[in-house]
Chain A
């Protein structure tokens, strides 16, 4: 079955620790995205990548970092510099990053930092 997997589903961390969220896709999609969602809010783009070894900042990249060493993988690191990291994080992919292609979303990781 093709799709996007994110792990873990729930993650708890202490303040000051870096944490890495996993995102893997087997859809052979070129483009991958990370979004953050806060309660009652829309999706805000953190980073996106159109091809391997290249990525661009989204609207709220401060305090986050990513890598794209393999086509199928796009991990997100939430660093201690992120002031308010508790949120629901969604990874998505699409065939290409252009207007005509839908984005497929993973099940999400709910991160709680105390």
Chain B
């Protein structure tokens, strides 16, 4: 079953922060985060494995709440280059394939 992402879209001014959530109804083994610019391929941001570990990548970090089967992506002091659509992909049970959410469109303006 497809994970649910929220919000569907968000507009930020440069320097503002944002949080994107990804929730699953199934037990999660891992959550992958990708960013896609319009017309381009998705680019890997980070993976969070079962265990609640928080990861960071420059000013973008993420957490994994095993109890809630939810992951959150935190974008701090957003830059224009952060604009794009963010997708979470989840791995559940013994499945070896990712199921992606429908994406969160992020636009950063001046």
Contacts of B49 in A (CB 8 A): 99-100
For this complex, into which size category does the number of interface residues on chain A fall? 20 to 34
Query: Does B30 reach chain A (CB closer than 8 Å)?
Result: yes
Q: Within the complex, which residue of A90, A103, A106 is in contact with B32, where a contact is CB–CB below 8 Å?
A: A103
Interface size on B, residues (CB 8 A): 23
Query: Does A33 reach chain B (CB closer than 8 Å)?
Result: yes
Q: With A90-B42, A102-B32, A103-B32 in contact, is A97–B97 under 8 Å at CB?
A: yes
CA A104 – CA B2 in complex, angstroms?
21
* A52-68 to B contact mask, C-beta < 8 Å, 1/0: 00001011000000000
Minimal Cβ-Cβ distance residue in A for B102: A42
Contacts of A99 in B (CB 8 A): 29-30, 47, 49-50, 91
Q: With A99-B30, A100-B49 in contact, is A105–B42 under 8 Å at CB?
A: yes
Q: With A43-B87, A90-B41 in contact, is A103–B102 under 8 Å at CB?
A: no
Q: Within the complex, which residue of B47, B50, B99, B103 is in contact with A102, where a contact is CB–CB below 8 Å?
A: B47
The answer on a CB contact under 8 Å between A42 and B96 is: no
A15 nearest CB across to chain B (Å)? 24
Q: With A100-B30, A100-B47 in contact, is A105–B100 under 8 Å at CB?
A: no
* A33-50 to B contact mask, C-beta < 8 Å, 1/0: 101000011111100101
Contacts of A107 in B (CB 8 A): 40-41
The answer on a CB contact under 8 Å between A45 and B41 is: no
Q: With A107-B40, A108-B41 in contact, is A44–B100 under 8 Å at CB?
A: yes
Cross-chain pairs A/B with CB under 8 angstroms, 16 sampled: A40-B103, A42-B87, A42-B101, A43-B42, A43-B100, A45-B97, A45-B98, A50-B96, A56-B97, A58-B97, A59-B99, A97-B97, A99-B49, A102-B44, A103-B89, A103-B98
> Could you tell me which A residues sit within 8 Å of B by CB distance?
31, 33, 35, 40-45, 48, 50, 56, 58-59, 90, 97-108
Taking A35-B100, A41-B102, A42-B87 as known contacts, 16 extra A-B pairs with beta carbons closer than 8 A to each other, sorted by chain A number, are: A41-B103, A42-B103, A43-B42, A43-B87, A45-B97, A48-B96, A48-B97, A56-B97, A90-B42, A99-B47, A100-B30, A100-B47, A102-B44, A107-B40, A107-B41, A108-B41
